[in-house]
Structure 1
Amino acid sequence: MIPTAIISHPDCALHDTGSYHPERAERTQVVVDALQRFFTGNELLWLEAEPAALKWIETVHDAAYVRQVEEVCLRGESVLDRGDTQVCEDSFAVARLAVGAGLMAVDVVMQGRAKNAFSVMRPPGHHAERAEAMGFCLFNNIAIAARYAQQRYGLSRVAIIDIDVHHGNGTQSAFYRDPTVFFVSFHQYPFYPGTGMKREIGDGPGEGFTLNIPLVAGASYAEYLSDWQTQVLPALQRFSPELILLSTGFDAHVDDPLANLNLNDADYHELTRLINDFALQSCDGRLVSIMEGGYSLDALARASICHVRALCNGK
């Protein structure tokens, strides 16, 4: 049996965001603990992340910005952006590990060592812009993974599906004029960061390769399923990706304290199953999931088990 790879690193805990910050060290640990308790056979391949080379980070971010992040962290400053992206001396190194986990996930899937992979790392990444940190994010882990897959493995069509409750503005902007990456985002709207309107469809050569699914507060899995069947799946089928990357935010959960969508544990299993089914049909199951948000520790642990069950079983 080909396993599902789980990639993490204990040094995630060194990224200290201070007291009472929702993006805290316990987030990755509760997921790792839950998966280790639930999966006791040979379903999972556990791997330890390695730091990404700066050249890969600079495929998405300006080199000057990368240096700025490093210098701010090494000086021991506590805030990187306008206030919500807290850092410490170790944050740059941990952020390189988070990027590296995404690259490792691409490697093990593309090389056939795992049928799919889940990166359980922090800080998250989908809000990070080319030269700006925001929304708890330093580097855009999933956007860098997409560029890595293209350059390392020669892929011409990569799809990114973002199911975090917040719109992945940084990921969208990275590929807004690029027809080789199809970006889909399910997100609460209007909500932070204020982007992700239906009319945002890409620009120039990338027009038609961005698909936003804004959801009103209180939306449930029924809305996700309808939009998947009527809008997302037909668009992805036309695009025919060679690899699917999934920004897996668990903050659309009904128990999450920072948002107002109503997915439950079973819904995360079903949503993952739909995406995994499409990956099996489109690209031999090549699917890489990268953890983004999720701020209720209990919900995060439960929903991550459901997510990985669907990755492992495909049903």
Structure 2
Amino acid sequence: MTTALFSHKSSWNHITPAGHAEQVARIEHIQATLRDAQFDALDRREAPECCDADLLLCHPQSHLDTITAAEPISGTVALDGDTYMSPGSTLAARHAVGGCLAAVDAVMAGEVGNAFVACRPPGHHAEQSKPMGFCLFGTAAIAAKHALERHGLSRVAVVDFDVHHGNGTQALLWDEPRSMFIGSHQNPLWPGTGMQEETGANDNVMNLPLPPHSDGRLMRATYEAQVFPALEAFQPELLILSAGFDAHKDDPLAQLEWIEEDFTWLTQKLCDVADQHCGGRVVSTLEGGYDLNALAASVAAHVGVLMERAK
């Protein structure tokens, strides 16, 4: 068995203004790194476009209509102070969702051991009817609902280690008792959500705020004390990772001080949980990470562990 890498050329067609953190260069750096010989064994697959029925697992039709109508004929348009669309943005977001659903399908079918979805834009800030934080559709949450509704799973966990709280995933899964959402993130930091008292409608949400300038030692202690015991108790049948790499010490948008070895450790530990409860089934989808070199190095560390554990 191996690790599947899902990507699509549409990620290059989602254009943001010059100087914007969520830029095409992110995917260029990731793909350049994953072309190294050490990644030759990746099962490289094209991310398909999702359909409306997929998006409707989490979003109302009105949201789909709003996103479609907002896409400009040329140039870029701002949906808010951070979130932009260009011609091709909707298709790129649909391929990001479609890639994550295809990754779930491939892992559930036993075609691959695990999967990484290298697409943009990210998704974990998009709420039911609100694009925000560079995100149009709630990719990880839609993948969780896909696994529950279409693969008949009873328990799916989403672990989000992006430096910004995954408010969208939390909102989309808030009322879903078959899911567990666990998010570690810097606090205080945008979007200002993710407090410990936010526990979901069914005690299915766990938030782990981390203070600025804390490093991987606090992250590791926090995950050991809280995350892994919670996952052990929940016993997920599939583990979905919202893999943001902006907790890296070099990232310009936040002040956590993780290094590549921290992402390696965290991926190994999460794979341990998957081995024990999920038959190793892990689907990881790209979220943030805005220092290009740190992003590429951290993705390489993360995917390297997935490949080792898929054997």
Query: Same fold judged by TM-score > 0.5?
Result: yes
The secondary structure found in structure 2 opposite 1:39 is helix
Give the deviation of 1:40 after TM superposition. Answer: 4.7
- In 1, distance between residues paired with 2:105 and 2:125? 24
Q: Separation in 1 of the partners of 2:9 and 2:100? A: 16
Residue 163, structure 1, aligned to residue 161, structure 2: yes
Give a deviation string over 1:67-113, Cα, whole Å, max 9, x none. Answer: 11011115547335322101112111111111101011101100111
What amino acid is aligned across from residue 148 of structure 1 in structure 2?
H
- Relative to structure 1, the CA distance from residue 40 to residue 253 in structure 2 (aligned partners, 3 Å threshold; closer, same or farther) is closer
Q: Which residue of 2 aligns with 1:233?
A: 228
Partner of 2:56: 58
Report if the CA contact (8 A) 2:79-2:85 is conserved: no
> Equivalents in 2 of 1:20, 1:226: separation in Å?
36
Task: Output one character per residue of 1:170-224: Cα deviation in whole Å (capped at 9) or x when no partner.
Answer: 0001111221110000000111100000111112xx1x21100000001111111
2:36 match: secondary structure: helix
2:24 equivalent in structure 1: 25
- TM-score relative to the length of structure 1: 0.96
8 Å Cα contact 1:241/1:282 also seen in 2: yes
- Work out whether 1:283 is the aligned partner of 2:281: no
Amino acid in structure 2 at the alignment position of 1:11? S
Q: Which amino acid aligns with 1:300?
A: L
Does the 8 Å contact 1:159/1:183 carry over to 2? yes
Gaps of 5+ in 1: none
Change (3 A) 1:224 1:40: closer
Aligned counterparts of 2:54 and 2:236: Cα–Cα separation in 1: 22
- Alignment RMSD (CA, Å): 1.3
Is 1:250 equivalent to 2:245 in the alignment?
A: yes
Identify the match of residue 200 of structure 1 among 198, 201, 223: 198
Task: Tell me the SS of whatever aligns to 2:35.
Answer: helix
What letter corresponds to residue 21 of structure 1 in structure 2? H
Correspondence for 1:220 among 215, 218, 221: 215
Partner SS state of residue 15, structure 2: coil
Q: How far, CA to CA, are the matches of 1:294 and 1:219 in structure 2?
A: 17
The answer (yes or no) to whether the contact 1:128–1:137 under 8 Å persists in 2 is: yes
Q: 1:187 aligns with which of 162, 185, 188?
A: 185
Structure-2 residue corresponding to 1:11: 10
Compute the displacement of 1:282 (Å). 1.0
Aligned to 1:211: 206
Contact 1:127 1:171 in 2 (8 A): yes
Q: Counterparts of 1:180 and 1:79 in 2: how far apart (Å)? A: 37
- Establish whether residue 312 from structure 1 lines up as the match of residue 307 from structure 2: yes
Aligned to 1:138: 136
Of residues 87, 94, 119 in structure 1, which corresponds to 2:117? 119
Is the Cα contact below 8 Å between 1:38 and 1:305 reproduced in 2? Answer: no
| Matching residue's letter, 2:214 | A
SS in structure 2 at match of 1:68: helix
Q: Is the 8 A contact 1:117 1:287 kept in 2?
A: yes
The separation in 2 between residues aligned to 1:62 and 1:81, in whole angstroms, is 18
Task: Tell me how far apart the structure 1 counterparts of residues 241 and 224 of structure 2 sit (CA, whole Å).
Answer: 18
1:102 match: 100
Aligned residue in 2 for 1:260: 255
Answer yes or no: is the 8 Å Cα contact 1:81–1:132 preserved in 2. Answer: no
Would you say the 8 A contact 1:77–1:88 is kept in 2?
A: yes
